[in-house]
């Protein structure tokens, strides 16, 4: 190319003029020429697409410029490898980042089109399960806002996290066909497709006197990339998210097709395309399914090859790669990238093993997101060897050399060697992906102070001893653009009025709000914003599910994935206790602090206990809500299908944030940060990032309860018998007995019997042990809420003191402690 002589062909791409008139012209152009309709004949989807394309056009020049600069500068950058990106809706975010919201509003209004209707039209891409996927989305936002050269790599699932409905109070899953009307934000790049191989066998061959290994795969698929713009916040930068979609290499076999066997002809295609068909809906509990390993290898192999092919000059000296790139492994899901990278260097680039390993060890870093042993992924050797035979050989060799080094250090301490081996022997021979990542990674980080400490002291303590300095912490964060500015325009406006602009990219500046906590006028405005946010939430809930939060009610919120360790059951027991107190006549309804409890939670479809708990919440809700003896003072609402879009409405309206996991089980939590930043007070255990939230906001503005992690350990060591707690506490007994009696299941005692007996005889997450402390803390909450001025003061201080939890700070910590990738000037 580049024979061009026309001045326009030689000029850089320019953005359209930024004015409402130009926006109208662009919007109509896109509607007419891209959608092929006149405004008068257009559907809402047409108008939404035309608007999205108009926004894209404004960001395009910067995107192309950033792509060019990242390649030309060859500055060190980050490849973030994540199986999940829980993006949430894009339109508003991109309008905000581009500084286009006002112009778009004015332009559309002048065409008789409501921006708000088009906002509501967008189906959010739910390409993640929960915290981990949302974290990845916050991180790409912050990387762009800080101007760090980076690319996010992942999978373009055709179906994201399932849509949850309730039938008779029980969860029923529906497919999330988010692409059925197309996505206006993506750019397919079939010309950049990669071929990804699987199966087959390995062999050795003589390469001019050197014996080398090679992989002879059995089958392959095409990985087609789709690019998404990730605009920085009003800084003229646009990064890239590149998600891979699987298609068959040969769409169909023409010979079979011509023979009339159509089914056989499309079989291969269907099989290949299954790889990116659907997101696995397990959060923190991997299932070890073959398709899942295919997904993991598919996207990391495509990403590594993409980076090497498209980001490096042709004659690049691979020994210099550590100065050019760091691959950040978001949990164990992408860890198969390590042997793939080794395979490329050793088998394809013919590099010497030791040299390749030295490079690899500098090019990867690993973030661990869990403490639950069942969440640490392992792959049976049989499966891995069948799907990726060469990778298994490479893993064996990495392990052999690693264990030699362990022996050299500690002698023949067989116990230690067995404990540190990347290969586990029981119950079946498997690869421990977390260990592989730890051995290969330049750094390993946990996601909150306590979590990182527990990783070093417990889960990976042998490795911490062996690799001094490898372990570090980066406390999670959330993007204030989406979770404050977009979700809570009222509060954002109030903050700007008080402390001026600039805090959205320098969130520690929220500290300047502290003095306003003592300003009665400011508190009144703050309380008015909270009330308005409750009305905004009501608008959504009413239309969506016919629910409503009553005036004067404290809004008590527990929204997160349904998992036993998070202890939704503890919250249910609190509700049931309050209810039982009133119906038994021990407590006068008039003495109950009016509260509406909102739950939001999806359960993994195969997680039976979690689904029973969902059923129980709905059952308790329907009894409590309709019992006149409560005088409307206690309500439980459980809108189905909690997702990012609903979170953006619920969080700004909340008064009380429930963060009540068993200490030592929640790695970090990120919902906890979003609530505090929006002025909810936390009731929580000393777990995950709660610890840091409490340290920052102060004990007077946080309701702490429950055992600490060492106390949990001590109780386990003594032998935990939940029934003793049941026997010893009359209130707890009454609540559990009421559930067991069938009071919430039309008298049928069998419905919740498994939940009750699990609590009484197993209770792995010690709900009963923390019950009394939780109830006492809730009483402190009620007392505090009765003093609205003091409550609002605490709420303001929560906002003022939690600026630390911006994902911009997290990314700066990654840069300082792990990546060493300065922003591109
Ligand atoms: N489930 C942790 O459990 C943490 C996020 C993001 C989780 C949660 O405490 O905030 O990651 N872990 O770091 C995994 O997904 C394995 C989560 O979202």
Per-residue pLDDT tens over the stretch 119-145: 999 999 999 999 999 999 999 999 999
- 501 and 429, same structural domain? no
The per-residue pLDDT for 2 is 61
Q: Is 54 in the pocket of ligand 1 (CB under 6 A)?
A: no
Out of 284, 328, 642, give the residue to mutate to test ligand 1, the one with the largest number of ligand atoms within 8 Å of its CB. Answer: 284
User: Which tokens hold the place of 568?
Assistant: 């939704």
Protein residue with its CA nearest to atom 18 in ligand 1: 131
Answer whether residue 50 is part of any domain. no
- Is 390 assigned a catalytic role? no
CB-CB neighbours of 390 under 10 Å: 24
- 566 and 465, same structural domain? no
ipTM above 0.85, yes or no: yes
Protein residue with its CA nearest to atom 10 in ligand 1: 669
For the ranges 214-218, 251-255, 634-638, the lowest mean pLDDT is seen at 251-255
Whether 735 contacts 569, CB under 8 Å: no
- Is 542 assigned a catalytic role? no
Q: What is the pairing mode between strands 219-231 and 238-248?
A: antiparallel
Measured between alpha carbons, how far is 403 from 550 in angstroms, rounded to an integer?
63
- Is 349 assigned a catalytic role? no
E strands in 546-641: 554-559, 595-600, 634-637
Whether 722 contacts 763, CB under 8 Å: yes
Q: Is 133 in the pocket of ligand 1 (CB under 6 A)?
A: no
Longest pairwise C-alpha distance within the chain: 90
Give 754 Cα–ligand 1 centroid separation in angstroms.
27
Grade residue 734 by pLDDT with cuts at 50, 70 and 90: very high
Measured between alpha carbons, how far is 207 from 9 in angstroms, rounded to an integer?
48
- Is 560 assigned a catalytic role? yes
Render the burial of 91-126: b for 16+ CB within 10 Å, e for the rest: bbbbbbbbebbebbbebbeeeebebeebeebbbbbb
> Exposure of 4 by Cβ count < 10 A (0-12 exposed, 13-18 middle, 19+ buried)?
exposed
Answer whether residue 590 is part of any domain. yes
Answer whether residue 212 is part of any domain. yes
E strands in 232-339: 238-248, 325-330
Bridge partners of 78, per DSSP, are 150, 326
Pick the atom of ligand 1 nearest to 666's CA. Answer: 9
E strands in 388-452: 423-424, 430-432, 444-446
Measured between alpha carbons, how far is 330 from 368 in angstroms, rounded to an integer?
7
Whether 319 contacts 359, CB under 8 Å: yes
State the average pLDDT for the chain. 96
User: Which tokens hold the place of 585?
Assistant: 């006549």
- Is 530 assigned a catalytic role? no
Q: Does 265 score more than 80 pLDDT?
A: no
Q: Does 468 score more than 70 pLDDT?
A: yes
Whether 360 contacts 440, CB under 8 Å: yes
For the ranges 107-111, 372-376, 410-414, 586-590, the lowest mean pLDDT is seen at 372-376
Answer whether residue 403 is part of any domain. yes
Q: Is 132 in the pocket of ligand 1 (CB under 6 A)?
A: yes
- 722 and 696, same structural domain? yes
Using the structure block, give the residue that is written with the tokens 């073959």. 290
Pick the atom of ligand 1 nearest to 447's CA. Answer: 13
Read off the CATH number of the domain in which 386 is found. Answer: 3.40.50.2000
- 760 and 715, same structural domain? yes
- 728 and 623, same structural domain? yes
Of 424, 217, 235, which Cα lies nearest the Cα of 301? 217
Q: Is the pTM of this model over 0.95?
A: yes
Q: Is 330 in the pocket of ligand 1 (CB under 6 A)?
A: no
Grade residue 288 by pLDDT with cuts at 50, 70 and 90: confident
- 336 and 241, same structural domain? yes
Percent pLDDT > 70 in the chain is: 99
Whether 661 contacts 566, CB under 8 Å: yes
Q: Does 1 score more than 60 pLDDT?
A: no
Grade residue 70 by pLDDT with cuts at 50, 70 and 90: confident
The per-residue pLDDT for 249 is 82
Grade residue 686 by pLDDT with cuts at 50, 70 and 90: very high
Q: Does 707 score more than 80 pLDDT?
A: yes
Q: Does 252 score more than 60 pLDDT?
A: no
Measured between alpha carbons, how far is 572 from 595 in angstroms, rounded to an integer?
14
- Is 240 assigned a catalytic role? no
Answer whether residue 34 is part of any domain. no
Give 434 Cα–ligand 1 centroid separation in angstroms.
15
Mean pLDDT of 483-491: 98
Answer whether residue 108 is part of any domain. no
Out of 296, 367, 369, give the residue to mutate to test ligand 1, the one with the largest number of ligand atoms within 8 Å of its CB. Answer: 369
- 445 and 379, same structural domain? yes
Mean pLDDT of 541-548: 90
Q: Which of 438, 578, 670, 792 is catalytic?
A: 670
Grade residue 3 by pLDDT with cuts at 50, 70 and 90: confident
- Show the CA angle centred on residue 256, arms to residues 252 and 262, nearest 5°: 70
Answer whether residue 116 is part of any domain. no
How many separate domains does the chain show?
A: 2
The per-residue pLDDT for 12 is 85
Q: Is 430 in the pocket of ligand 1 (CB under 6 A)?
A: no
The per-residue pLDDT for 13 is 87
- 496 and 470, same structural domain? no
Give 344 Cα–ligand 1 centroid separation in angstroms.
31
User: Which tokens hold the place of 671?
Assistant: 């919902």
Measured between alpha carbons, how far is 175 from 60 in angstroms, rounded to an integer?
32
Q: Is 581 in the pocket of ligand 1 (CB under 6 A)?
A: no
Q: Is 670 in the pocket of ligand 1 (CB under 6 A)?
A: yes
Q: Does 544 score more than 60 pLDDT?
A: yes
Q: Is 283 in the pocket of ligand 1 (CB under 6 A)?
A: yes
Alpha-helical segments (H) within 639-766: 644-653, 671-677, 690-697, 709-718, 722-728, 730-740, 753-761
- 503 and 446, same structural domain? no
- DSSP designation for 478: B
**What would the 3-class secondary structure string for 46-102 be?**
HHHHHHHHHHHHHHHHHHHHHHHHHHHHCCCEEEEECCCEECCCCHHHHHHHHCCHH
Phi, psi of 181 (to 5 degrees): -100, 10
- 487 and 377, same structural domain? no
Answer whether residue 707 is part of any domain. yes
pLDDT tens digits, 326-370:
999 999 999 999 999 999 999 999 999 999 999 999 999 999 999
Measured between alpha carbons, how far is 153 from 86 in angstroms, rounded to an integer?
13
Measured between alpha carbons, how far is 133 from 280 in angstroms, rounded to an integer?
12
Q: What is the pairing mode between strands 219-231 and 77-81?
A: unpaired
* Structural domain span for residue 434: 74-89+124-475+813-819
Measured between alpha carbons, how far is 177 from 160 in angstroms, rounded to an integer?
7
Q: Does 250 score more than 70 pLDDT?
A: no
Mean pLDDT of 377-394: 98
- 229 and 373, same structural domain? yes
Sign, Cα dihedral of 495, 498, 501, 507: negative
- 354 and 416, same structural domain? yes
Q: Is 474 in the pocket of ligand 1 (CB under 6 A)?
A: no
Bridge partners of 222, per DSSP, are 195, 247
pLDDT tens digits, 805-820:
999 999 999 999 999 9
Give 476 Cα–ligand 1 centroid separation in angstroms.
10
């Amino acid at each position: 190319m580049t024979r061009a002589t026309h001045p326009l062909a030689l000029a850089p791409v320019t953005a359209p003029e930024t004015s409402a008139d130009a926006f109208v012209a662009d919007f109509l152009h896109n509607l007419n020429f891209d959608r092929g309709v006149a405004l008068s004949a257009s559907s809402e989807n047409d108008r939404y697409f035309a608007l999205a394309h108009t926004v894209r056009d404004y960001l395009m020049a910067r995107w192309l410029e950033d792509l060019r600069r990242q390649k030309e500068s060859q500055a060190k950058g980050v490849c973030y490898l994540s199986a999940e990106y829980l993006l949430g809706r894009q339109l508003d975010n991109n309008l905000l980042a581009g500084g286009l919201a006002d112009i778009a509003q004015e332009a559309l209004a002048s065409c008789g089109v409501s921006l708000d209707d088009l906002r509501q039209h967008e189906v959010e891409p739910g390409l993640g399960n929960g915290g981990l996927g949302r974290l990845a989305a916050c991180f790409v936002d912050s990387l762009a806002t800080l101007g760090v050269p980076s690319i996010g790599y992942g999978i373009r699932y055709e179906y994201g996290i399932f849509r949850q409905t309730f039938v008779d109070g029980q969860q029923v899953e529906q497919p999330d066909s988010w692409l059925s009307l197309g996505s206006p934000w993506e750019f397919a790049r079939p010309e950049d497709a990669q071929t990804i191989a699987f199966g087959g066998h390995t062999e050795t061959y003589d390469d001019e006197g050197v014996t080398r290994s090679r992989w002879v795969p059995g089958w392959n698929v095409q990985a087609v990339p789709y690019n998404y713009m990730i605009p920085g916040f009003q800084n003229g930068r646009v990064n890239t998210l590149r998600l891979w979609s699987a298609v068959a290499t040969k769409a169909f076999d023409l010979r079979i097709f011509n023979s009339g066997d159509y089914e056989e002809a499309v079989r291969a295609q269907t099989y290949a395309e299954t790889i990116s068909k659907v997101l696995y809906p397990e959060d923190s509990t991997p299932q070890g399914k073959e398709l899942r390993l295919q997904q993991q290898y598919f996207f990391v192999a495509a990403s590594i090859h993409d980076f090497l092919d498209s980001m490096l000059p042709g004659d690049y000296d691979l020994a210099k790669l550590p100065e050019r790139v760091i691959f950040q492994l978001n949990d164990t899901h992408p860890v198969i990238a390590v042997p793939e990278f080794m395979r490329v260097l050793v088998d394809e680039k013919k590099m010497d093993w030791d040299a390749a390993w030295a490079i690899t060890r500098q090019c990867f870093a690993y973030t661990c997101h869990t403490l639950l042993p069942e969440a640490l992924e392992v792959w049976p050797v049989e499966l891995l060897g069948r799907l990726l035979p060469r990778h298994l050989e490479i893993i064996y060799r990495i392990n052999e050399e690693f264990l030699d080094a362990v022996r050299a250090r500690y002698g023949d301490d067989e116990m230690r060697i067995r404990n540190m081996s990347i290969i586990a022997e029981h119950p079946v021979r498997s690869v421990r992906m977390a260990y592989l990542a730890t051995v290969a990674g330049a750094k390993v980080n946990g996601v909150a102070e306590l979590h990182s400490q527990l990783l070093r002291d417990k889960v990976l303590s042998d490795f911490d001893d062996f690799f001094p300095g490898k372990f570090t912490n980066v406390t999670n964060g959330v993007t204030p653009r989406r979770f404050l500015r977009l979700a809570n325009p009222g509060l954002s406006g109030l903050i700007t009025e008080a402390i001026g602009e600039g805090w959205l990219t320098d969130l520690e500046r929220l500290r300047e709000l502290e003095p306003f906590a003592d300003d009665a006028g400011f508190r009144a405005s703050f309380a008015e914003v909270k009330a308005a946010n409750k009305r905004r939430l009501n608008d959504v809930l009413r239309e969506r599910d016919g629910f409503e939060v009553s005036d004067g009610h404290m809004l008590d919120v527990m929204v997160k994935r349904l998992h036993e360790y998070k202890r939704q059951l503890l919250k249910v027991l609190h509700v049931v206790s309050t209810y039982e107190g009133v119906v038994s006549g021990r407590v006068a309804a008039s003495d109950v602090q009016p509260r509406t409890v909102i739950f939001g939670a999806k359960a993994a479809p195969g997680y039976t206990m979690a689904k029973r708990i969902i059923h129980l919440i709905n059952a308790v809700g329907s009894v409590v809500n309709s019992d006149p003896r409560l005088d409307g003072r206690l309500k439980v609402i459980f809108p189905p299908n909690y997702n990012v879009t609903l979170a953006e409405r619920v969080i700004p309206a909340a008064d009380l944030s429930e963060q009540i996991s068993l200490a030592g089980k929640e790695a970090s939590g990120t919902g906890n940060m979003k609530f505090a930043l929006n002025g909810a007070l936390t009731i929580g255990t000393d777990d995950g990032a709660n610890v840091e939230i409490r340290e920052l906001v102060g004990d007077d503005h946080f309701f702490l309860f429950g055992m600490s992690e060492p106390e949990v350990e001590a109780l386990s060591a003594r032998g935990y018998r939940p029934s003793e707690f049941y026997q010893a506490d009359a209130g707890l007994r009454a609540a559990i007995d009421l559930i067991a009696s069938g009071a919430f299941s039309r008298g049928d005692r069998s419905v919740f019997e498994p939940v009750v007996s699990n609590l009484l005889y197993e209770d792995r997450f010690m709900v009963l042990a923390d019950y009394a402390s939780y109830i006492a803390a809730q009483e402190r909450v009620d007392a505090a809420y009765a003093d609205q001025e003091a409550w609002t003061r605490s709420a303001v201080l929560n906002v003022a003191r939690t600026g630390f939890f911006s994902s911009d700070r997290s990314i700066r910590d990654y840069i300082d402690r792990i990546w060493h990738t300065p922003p591109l000037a």
